[in-house]
Amino acid sequence: MMNCLQSWPEPVVRVQSLAASGIQAIPERYIKPPSHRPLSNSDFSLPQEVNIPVIDFQNVFSSDHRLRDEALRCIYSACSEWGFFQVVNHGVSHELMKGVREIWREFFNLPVEVKQEYANSPVTYEGYGSRLGVQKGASLDWSDYFFLHYMPVSLRNQNKWPATPASCREMVAEYGREVVKLGGKLMKAFSMNLGLEEDFLLNSFGGEENVGACLRVNYYPKCPQPDLTLGLSPHSDPGGMTILLPDENVAGLQVRRNDSWVTVKPAPDAFIINIGDQIQVLSNAIYQSVEHRVIVNSNKDRVSLAFFYNPKSDLLIEPSKELVTEDRPALYPPMTFDEYRLYIRTKGPSGKKQVESLKSPRPCNE
Q: Walk along the chain (366 residues) and give the pLDDT tens digit of each residue.
A: 344 567 888 888 999 999 999 999 999 999 999 888 887 444 444 445 568 999 999 999 999 999 999 999 999 999 999 999 999 999 999 999 999 999 999 999 999 999 999 999 888 789 999 988 777 888 899 999 999 999 999 989 888 999 999 999 999 999 999 999 999 999 999 999 999 999 999 999 999 889 999 999 999 999 999 999 999 999 899 999 999 999 989 989 999 988 889 999 999 999 999 999 999 999 999 999 999 999 999 999 999 999 999 999 899 999 999 999 999 899 999 989 888 877 666 655 555 656 666 643 333 333
Q: What is the DSSP letter of 29?
A: G
Helix (H/G/I), strand (E/B), else coil: 112: helix
CA distances from 157 to 64, 129, 149 (A): 43, 17, 7
- Can you list the alpha helix ranges (DSSP code H) found in the chain? 15-20, 65-77, 94-108, 112-116, 168-193, 200-204, 277-282, 337-347, 353-356
**Could you give the domains of the chain?**
31-358 (2.60.120.330)
Helix (H/G/I), strand (E/B), else coil: 166: coil
**Model pLDDT, residue 345:** 65
Nearest to 192 by CA among 76, 84, 275: 76
**Model pLDDT, residue 39:** 73
**Model pLDDT, residue 360:** 35
Nearest to 239 by CA among 274, 277, 208: 277
Cβ burial 185-205 (10 Å sphere, 16+ → b, else e): bbbbbbbbbbebeeebbbebb
Handedness of CA 220, 221, 222, 228 (dihedral sign): negative
* Own/partner pairs, 77-82, CB within 8 angstroms, 24+ separation: 77/53, 78/52, 78/53, 79/190, 79/193, 79/275, 79/286, 79/287, 79/288, 80/286, 80/287, 80/288, 81/288, 82/52, 82/53, 82/255, 82/257, 82/288, 82/290
**Model pLDDT, residue 294:** 95
**Model pLDDT, residue 38:** 87
State which amino acid sits at residue 324.
Answer: V
How many Cβ atoms sit within 10 Å of the Cβ of residue 10? 12
Nearest to 72 by CA among 61, 63, 82: 61
Q: Give the Cα separation of 219 and 228 in Å (integer).
A: 18
Q: Please, which residues bridge with residue 306 across strands? A: 216, 244
Phi, psi of 18 (to 5 degrees): -60, -50
State which amino acid sits at residue 194.
Answer: L
Q: Give the Cα separation of 303 and 66 in Å (integer).
A: 38
Helix (H/G/I), strand (E/B), else coil: 324: coil
Q: Please, which residues bridge with residue 128 across strands? A: 119, 146
What are the respective helix, strand and coil percentages of the chain, to the nearest 5?
35, 20, 45
**Nearest 10 degrees: Cα torsion 343, 127, 171, 305:** -40
| 176, 162 Cβ separation under 8 angstroms | no
Q: Give the Cα separation of 107 and 36 in Å (integer).
A: 31
**Model pLDDT, residue 341:** 78
Checking phi first, is residue 331 left (phi over 0); if not, alpha (psi -120 to 50) or beta? alpha
Q: What is the DSSP letter of 226?
A: T
